[in-house]
Amino acid sequence: MKGWLVEFGPVHPGLVESIMKKLTLLAVGFILFAIAAPALAHHSFAAEYDANKPVTLTGAVTKIEWTNPHVWIYLDVKEESGKVTNWGFEMGSPNGLMRAGWTRKSLKIGDTVTVEGSRAKDESNHVNARSVALAGSGQKLFAASSQGQ
Amino acid sequence: MTGPAPRVNGKPDLSGVWQVEAEPRAPGGLFGLGESPNSKYFRDILSDFARGEEPLTPKGAEILRRNTQPGVVGPNLKCLPDGVPHADLLPEPFKIIQAPGQIVMLYEVLTIFRQVFTDGRKLPPDPSPVWLGYSVGKWDGDTLVVDTMGFNDLSWLDARGHGHSEDMRVEERFHRRDFGHMDVAVTIADPEVFTKPVTINFVERLLPDTDVFEHICSENEKDSGHLPGTTK
């Protein structure tokens, strides 16, 4: 893991395209997880998150809420300016994550992870996570996102 | 999964953990990832009809209009139950336990259940209106036919926002065609909201290597506060 990475979209189509290409490279792995753990039904992704605002954020885990209806993790993310901001990431239900290979011990406070997902429409520091990659092991987990509903 | 369906007492045994077959919203899924598939009937119970040609009565159209206003959210966002047949169409699985005289359906979402009485009883004349109704079942050959009424009018039929009245009647026909697949035909009759009965066909797939687990939604509900236009 080389430093802290912060990417925001969409702003201009080229950036979106480059992010989408990167995501497509990961498609095979995601599809495997997607089959095992489809979306959570709790809410409409489209009402709350914007698929046109893909983000990739890396940071240290500060809090884990392993609860229904959605698991939330929080990361301290250092921006290019050096400012540290706490972001919240919504994932699937504990059951959905479990079927995708997670346990409640998959992440620990202080772990460095990279999350890909879509930012909240209300511009708050909330993201619907699609995948979580652990910096230590390189393990990547599908986040049982509700995107697509 | 394509072997013969198990049988018990001369009938197919529907017991198992089932999940509706789903499709991505677009070819390859969003971003080409194929993530988050769900059934088109989960999204829109009338998805077989072209937009504008749905068989809705004025009341049915008015319910949809009301439910699609900014800030209006479905019951499940408030951690209230899904109804019938929406509960069969969720991405999360449900479990069928086939017992003598009754078939029990355990829905993972909200940890709720239905009892389908197969002991020959009739539907009650005036049941108390509830989310999942009152169900009786009988066999038509190898197909289990479940007849349900006694609904309240609070549940949504889909994520889009179609609703129904307390007079809705639902027939579900479950046919386990082989070990791993169950064909389901559901007919919804509700003259208050639909100009004609609506039938949908979908497939439930057996999930042989998982179970249904407790899911109490209201533990840590945060979405309603983030939704644009909703009351915080």
Q: What is the pLDDT of residues B108-137, one digit of tens each?
A: 999 999 999 999 999 999 999 999 999 999
Q: Looking at residue A26, what is its pLDDT?
A: 40
Half-sphere exposure (Cβ direction) of A29: Cα atoms closer than 13 Å: 15
Q: Which domain holds residue A133?
A: 6-142
Stretch 132-151 of chain B: residues touching chain A, C-beta under 8 Å: none
Q: Which CATH number does the domain B7-226 belong to among 1.10.10.10, 3.50.50.60, 2.40.128.20, 2.60.120.560?
A: 2.40.128.20
Average pLDDT score over chain B: 91
Report strand pairing: B112-117 vs B134-140. Answer: parallel
Are the Cβ atoms of A69 and B221 closer than 8 angstroms? yes
Computed over its alpha carbons, how large is the radius of gyration of chain B?
18
Q: Which of B38, B217, B228 is opposite residue A121, by nearest beta carbon?
A: B228
Q: Does A92 touch chain B (CB under 8 A)?
A: no
How is residue B125 annotated by DSSP?
S
How many domains does the structure of chain A reveal?
A: 1
Compute how many other C-beta atoms are within 10 angstroms of the C-beta atom of residue A110: 9
Give the residue from chain B lying closest to A33, CA to CA: B35
> Residue A49: which pLDDT band, with cuts at 50, 70 and 90?
confident
Say which residues have a Cβ less than 8 Å from residue A120's Cβ, sequence separation at least 6: A48, A49, A50, A126, A127, A128, B226
In a domain, A129, yes or no: yes
Contact B173, B184 (CB under 8 A): yes
Are the Cβ atoms of B82 and A126 closer than 8 angstroms? no
Q: Of the candidates B15, B188, B167, B224, which has an alpha carbon nearest to the alpha carbon of residue A69?
A: B224
- Predicted structure pTM score: 0.79
Q: For residue range B12-60, what is the model confidence (pLDDT) as tens digits?
A: 999 999 999 987 655 544 444 334 578 999 989 999 999 999 999 999 9
Interface test with B, best of A43, A50, A56, A122 (most B CBs within 10 A): A43
Phi, psi at residue B111, to the nearest 5°? 55, 50
In a domain, A99, yes or no: yes
Q: Please report residues of B whose CB lies closer than 8 A to that of A98.
A: 213
Tell the burial category of B153 from Cβ atoms under 10 Å away from its Cβ (0-12, 13-18, 19+): middle
In a domain, A73, yes or no: yes
Whether pLDDT at B229 is above 70:
no
Q: In CATH, what number is assigned to the domain containing residue A52?
A: 2.40.50.140
Apex CA A100: angle with CA A98 and CA B20, to 5°? 95
In a domain, A53, yes or no: yes
Smallest CA–CA separation between B182 and chain A, in Å?
18
Are the Cβ atoms of B31 and A145 closer than 8 angstroms? no
Q: Does B106 touch chain A (CB under 8 A)?
A: no
Smallest CA–CA separation between A82 and chain B, in Å?
27
Tokens 């100009």 sit at which residue? B195
**Alpha helices, H only, B25-157:** 40-43, 58-67
How far lies A82's CA from each of A3, A5, A76, A96, in Å?
A: 12, 12, 12, 35
In a domain, A1, yes or no: no
Q: Of the candidates B213, B158, B2, B32, which has an alpha carbon nearest to the alpha carbon of residue A34?
A: B32
Q: Does B36 touch chain A (CB under 8 A)?
A: yes
Q: Does A122 touch chain B (CB under 8 A)?
A: yes
- List the structure tokens of B4: 């013969």
